[in-house]
Chain A
């Protein structure tokens, strides 16, 4: 039953991705001001916003691990797997946002990059989580999980500060398209393709997040079994 559900979910995700692609490339009209290049919004914005969700998963995992590591070691292990999976998928999504952004900016602004609030925040967020993954790679054992969780909390704490500091510094990123007041919002012809892509990439992200979590849990179980075997030998 579980296998059928997962298989079904994979099929739905693939169909959604194909449908999202069709919507973005063939159905959505050209942007009145920017032309074809504006289609990148259907990929850039979902990846950028979803990366924040996955980093959020990582933060919850870190906090969960720290609070439960003494009282419920097994549940804490599963929180740690969520923390790792969230950070890895978040970095992948964030990387895609950081690559598609400059491609669009080169055409729209005439420059690849600018040190504005949202770009800098995203870049710093990416740097922090890459350093988080490096810490996990360089250390080993249960100690590493605790240290990584602490770093995860520090990193999350840094993000609002980076955002505020850069707003005071300078800002060039387009104002929020949704809920930004007068003149914001999207034409329906663009809104539906956008929402389809958002949903498709969300489903895809959740799928690989789940796979990564499963693999990490498996790793943990093998490591625990090996440690036990070594003790008994």
Chain B
């Protein structure tokens, strides 16, 4: 790990530690989504097992957008972005640091959300529960690596908060499908999630590589 990556990481973690803005807003928002879905669909019995995976993924997705919007917005003040552009280290390191930090935040939110989820949906995991330790991080990585990239891309536009969701969600659809199918098959134990895990893995590799390659173009666009 290079020094630039490390210092970006530490800086972002320290900023978040001092305010806890992103984590608190994500936690509350994802909790709200879970409650709203339970009220809208009244989950009971086998039905709750079937929709739980989808609700978990969609709640994570909506919640993470609030954090992703702040990922770059907090760098605008005091011309930090311009300073970052002048730094001689490659932009890919900055992107990777932001992705790792936000991945860490979303994972914390998922862990905190898990008990509420089990309670509200009377969840009983029938399949192999340990596979969730593979599916959720892979899906979260897909979301966050694309999200941080597109947040940087929509930074310069007029209504950037809105634009991020508008361009992130369509691109994220295949990963969301794989994530939902895998978690649902783990919750219900009906089918084998291996294919979907492989797909998530492939999606992560392709999109992370492309974002790292194209980030300098986006970051230095003028």
- Interface-facing stretch out of A81-89, A148-156, A208-216: A148-156
Q: Let me know if A138 and B157 touch, CB within 8 A.
A: yes
Q: Answer yes or no: A31 CB below 8 A from chain B CBs.
A: no
Q: Let me know if B206 and A157 touch, CB within 8 A.
A: yes
Min CB gap A152→B, angstroms: 11
Q: Let me know if A162 and B174 touch, CB within 8 A.
A: yes
Q: Let me know if A150 and B173 touch, CB within 8 A.
A: no
Instruction: State which of A131, A146, A168 has its C-beta within 8 Å of the C-beta of B218.
Output: A146
Q: Let me know if A139 and B171 touch, CB within 8 A.
A: no
Q: Answer yes or no: B214 CB below 8 A from chain A CBs.
A: yes
Question: Which of B174, B195, B196, B214 has the most chain A CB atoms inside 10 A of its CB?
Answer: B174
Q: Let me know if B214 and A153 touch, CB within 8 A.
A: yes
B-side contacts of A132, CB under 8 Å: 167
B-side contacts of A135, CB under 8 Å: 153-154, 157, 163, 166-167
A134-B166, A147-B221, A150-B218 as given contacts; A161 in contact with B203, CB under 8 Å = yes
Q: B162: nearest residue on chain A (CB-CB)?
A: A138
Assembly CA distance A158 to B169 (angstroms)? 12
Contact flags A141-180 to B (C-beta < 8 A → 1, else 0): 0111011001101110110011011101100000000000
B-side contacts of A144, CB under 8 Å: 156-157
A-side contacts of B158, CB under 8 Å: 138-139
B-side contacts of A150, CB under 8 Å: 153, 214, 217-218
Q: A128: nearest residue on chain B (CB-CB)?
A: B170
Assembly CA distance A132 to B166 (angstroms)? 9
B-side contacts of A168, CB under 8 Å: 195-196, 199
Min CB gap A221→B, angstroms: 21
Assembly CA distance A165 to B197 (angstroms)? 12
A-side contacts of B206, CB under 8 Å: 157, 161
Q: Answer yes or no: B177 CB below 8 A from chain A CBs.
A: yes
Q: Answer yes or no: A199 CB below 8 A from chain B CBs.
A: no
Q: Let me know if A169 and B177 touch, CB within 8 A.
A: yes
Q: Answer yes or no: A66 CB below 8 A from chain B CBs.
A: yes
A66-B217, A147-B218, A154-B210 as given contacts; A131 in contact with B170, CB under 8 Å = yes
Q: Let me know if A124 and B173 touch, CB within 8 A.
A: yes
A-side contacts of B174, CB under 8 Å: 124, 158, 161-162, 165
A-side contacts of B159, CB under 8 Å: 138
Instruction: State which of B166, B178, B196, B217 has its C-beta within 8 Å of the C-beta of A146.
Output: B217
Q: Answer yes or no: B183 CB below 8 A from chain A CBs.
A: no
Q: Tell me the dominant secondary structure on chain A's binding face.
A: helix
Q: Answer yes or no: B190 CB below 8 A from chain A CBs.
A: no
B-side contacts of A153, CB under 8 Å: 210, 214
A-side contacts of B49, CB under 8 Å: none
A138-B159, A139-B156, A165-B199 as given contacts; A158 in contact with B171, CB under 8 Å = yes
A-side contacts of B154, CB under 8 Å: 135, 138-139, 147
Min CB gap A67→B, angstroms: 11
Q: Answer yes or no: B181 CB below 8 A from chain A CBs.
A: yes
Q: B214: nearest residue on chain A (CB-CB)?
A: A150
Q: Answer yes or no: A127 CB below 8 A from chain B CBs.
A: yes
Q: Let me know if B153 and A147 touch, CB within 8 A.
A: yes
Min CB gap A151→B, angstroms: 6
Assembly CA distance A169 to B150 (angstroms)? 27
A-side contacts of B153, CB under 8 Å: 135, 147, 150-151
B-side contacts of A143, CB under 8 Å: 156, 221-222
Give the residues from 47 to 93 in chain A that come closer than 8 angstroms, CB to CB, to chain B: 66
Min CB gap A28→B, angstroms: 36
Contact flags B185-222 to A (C-beta < 8 A → 1, else 0): 00000000001100100110011001000100110011
Min CB gap A91→B, angstroms: 13
A138-B157, A165-B174 as given contacts; A131 in contact with B221, CB under 8 Å = no
Q: Let me know if B157 and A155 touch, CB within 8 A.
A: no
B-side contacts of A154, CB under 8 Å: 171, 207, 210, 214
B-side contacts of A142, CB under 8 Å: 221-222
A-side contacts of B202, CB under 8 Å: 161
Q: B146: nearest residue on chain A (CB-CB)?
A: A154
Could you jot down 22 A-B contacts, CB within 8 Å?
Answer: A66-B217, A127-B170, A128-B170, A131-B167, A135-B163, A139-B156, A143-B156, A147-B157, A147-B218, A147-B221, A150-B214, A150-B217, A154-B171, A154-B210, A154-B214, A157-B206, A161-B174, A161-B199, A162-B173, A168-B196, A169-B177, A169-B181
